[in-house]
Structure 1
Amino acid sequence: MKIGITELAARAGVSEATVSRVINRRSGVAAKTREAVERAMNELGYERSTRGQIVAVITPWLSNPFFSEASELIEAALAPHGLKGVLCPALPGGIQEREFVTSLADHGVAAVVFLSASNTVEGADPETFNVLAARRIPFVGVNGGFEGHDAPVYSTDDFQSAELAVDHLWALGHRAIGIASGPVGNQPADRRVKGFRAALARRGATDTERWIVRQHYTIEGGQSAALSLLKQGVTAIVAASDFMALGVIRGARREGLSVPADLSVVGHDGSMIMEFADPPLTTVRQPVDRLAKEVARGVVALVSGREVPTGELLFNPEMVVRGSTAAPRA
């Protein structure tokens, strides 16, 4: 027997219109009523159709190749399941992000993916997540979690990223290694700094605080960080993103230095376009293809009413050695 709206309405003791609103995750339904309908769906074995539903991907900086590539791969992985990804560019934790989510929730969005959005910001306004949780709209995070909510999170292992970068530079003979990381309170940046400190400590380095500079994830931020670190006498810099790494290279050249002869530079993200930088950028590549597939797998399961393991799933990055690193001058 095929279970439809009529059977669900009878079991829950509500109107068919109310059942329709719950199925499509629309607002205007009391919490107890919504719970009754959801319970009836579980008891009768009803599964929401996923065809034609929208999944919002909230992400910053689409000009950054990593975010545009990740968004595209997530969309492509969702498409075979009848889900349509919609990109919503917004600064992490800003009012625009909350307005996107509230508006989409009102229109019955199937799920939301926070791709390095407010889920990466320490102390972000929880209202955005609370709106989704209250309406039973599933959401997942990439490279950052949600305080107070047991939502699935898919992240690159930032500690391993730092270890790979330091290990590569240390093996080349560098001992004065600095890091140009993202702002304080950004979860991936904070974790990468901790991993950087730990990687140096394992190799016997001390007084590592002076090798750490926090800046914005931009070319300008990387340039500023480079100037500060060069004053400390570093021979190599680990950047928190490929864009920051390009800024580091620009900063070094403005000081009359050559990369990699005078300064080695390691990026992070692994955008394919960085192979064509001058010099080609050595970088720690995030496994964006595997991240995107697991995000899509989790979203499809959640939208279909299946359980998905909560907590953070960590993915190992990969070291890609190109022309921006070399042994230090004698």
Structure 2
Amino acid sequence: MKIGITEVAARAEVSEATVSRVVNRRAGVSAKTREVVERAMAELGYERTTRGRLVAVITPGLSSPFFADVAELIEAALAPHGLKGVLCPAQGGGIQEREFVTALAEHGVAAVVFLSASNTLDDADPETYDLLAARRIPFVGVNGGFEGHDMPVLSTDDQLSAELAVDHLWSLGHRRIGLASGPAGNRPADRRAEGFRAAMARRGVTDTGSLVVRQHYTIEGGQSATAELLRHDVTAVVAASDFMALGAIRAVRRAGLTVPGDVSIVGHDGSMIMEFVDPPLTTVRQPLDRLAKEVARSVVALVSNREVPKGELLFGPELVVRGSTAPPR
């Protein structure tokens, strides 16, 4: 026997209109009533249809090839399940992100994916997550979790990323290795900085204070950080993103040096376009395909009221060696 909203309404002792609002996650239902209806749905085995539903993908922007690539992969992974990804570029933790989520919640969005958005910030305002939780709208994090909410988080292993980059440069003969990292308070950047210090310490370098510079995830940020690192005589730079690595290359050249002749550069993310820069960029590639598929699997399960593993799942990155790294002079 197929369970519909009529059976759910009878079990919960509410109107079918109320059940419809809960099913479509619309406003106008008290938290207590919503809980009663959700419980009735679970007891009867009612499954929300996923066809035609919207899934919001909140991302800090699409100018970076990495975010564009992973957002496209998430959309493609959701499509076979009848879910439509809607891209919402917004500054992480800003008003625009909250307004996107609020508006979509009012229109019955099925789920929200935070793609390196406010979920990467230590001081993120929990109001957005609290709103989704109150509406029983599931959400998933990529490269960052949610304080106070036990939702699935899929992340690249940032500490392993740092180890792969340092190990590659160390094996080439570099000993003065610097890190051009993202801003403090950004969880992936903090993890990479921690991983970098640990990787250097394992190789006997414990004084890394001047070898770690925090800047924005931009070309300009990478250029500024690398210019400072060059003043400390580094022969290699690990950048926290491919865009920062492009800035690092610019800083090296403006100092009258060459890449990789004088300074080797390693990026992070693994955007395909970095194969075609000059020189082609050695980088630590995030496992975009696997991340996107796991995001889609988690979203589909949550939308269908199925249990999913909670907590953070770490994915191993891959070192891609190209022309921006070489032994030191």
Q: State the TM-score, normalized to the length of structure 2.
A: 0.99
Aligned to 1:62: 62
Q: Measure the CA separation in 2 of the matches of 1:223 and 1:236.
A: 14
Q: Measure the CA separation in 2 of the matches of 1:269 and 1:152.
A: 21
Aligned to 2:249: 249
Cα offset, 1:40, TM superposition: 1.1
2:6 match: secondary structure? helix
Aligned to 1:292: 292
Cα offset, 1:3, TM superposition: 1.5
2:113 match: secondary structure? strand
Aligned to 1:193: 193
Aligned to 1:225: 225
Structure 1 residue runs of 4+, over 6 Å off?
none
The superposition leaves residues 94-121 of structure 1 with CA deviations (integer Å, 9 ceiling, x where unpaired) of 0000000011001100000000000000
1:9-158 alignment runs, 5 A limit = 9-158=9-158
The superposition leaves residues 226-245 of structure 1 with CA deviations (integer Å, 9 ceiling, x where unpaired) of 11000000000000000000
Cα offset, 1:49, TM superposition: 0.3
Q: Measure the CA separation in 1 of the matches of 2:43 and 2:267.
A: 52
The superposition leaves residues 76-106 of structure 1 with CA deviations (integer Å, 9 ceiling, x where unpaired) of 0000000000000000100000000011001
Q: Measure the CA separation in 2 of the matches of 1:86 and 1:316.
A: 27
Cα offset, 1:192, TM superposition: 0.2
Aligned residues, how many? 329
Q: Measure the CA separation in 2 of the matches of 1:138 and 1:289.
A: 22
Q: Does 1:326 align with 2:326?
A: yes
Checking the alignment, whether the CA contact within 8 Å between 2:197 and 2:206 is kept in structure 1 is no
Cα offset, 1:204, TM superposition: 0.4
1:165 match: secondary structure? helix
Q: Measure the CA separation in 1 of the matches of 2:35 and 2:60.
A: 34
The amino acid of 2:184's aligned partner reads: V
1:86 match: secondary structure? strand
- Identity of aligned pairs, percent? 80
Q: Does 1:170 align with 2:170?
A: yes
Aligned to 1:206: 206
Cα offset, 1:44, TM superposition: 1.2
Q: Does 1:184 align with 2:184?
A: yes
Q: State the TM-score, normalized to the length of structure 1.
A: 0.99
Unaligned runs of 5+ residues in structure 2 are none
2:19 match: secondary structure? helix
The alignment yields a C-alpha RMSD, in angstroms, of: 0.5
Q: Measure the CA separation in 1 of the matches of 2:239 and 2:94.
A: 25
Q: Measure the CA separation in 1 of the matches of 2:12 and 2:213.
A: 58
Q: Measure the CA separation in 2 of the matches of 1:142 and 1:302.
A: 16
Q: Measure the CA separation in 1 of the matches of 2:163 and 2:290.
A: 21
Cα offset, 1:206, TM superposition: 2.3
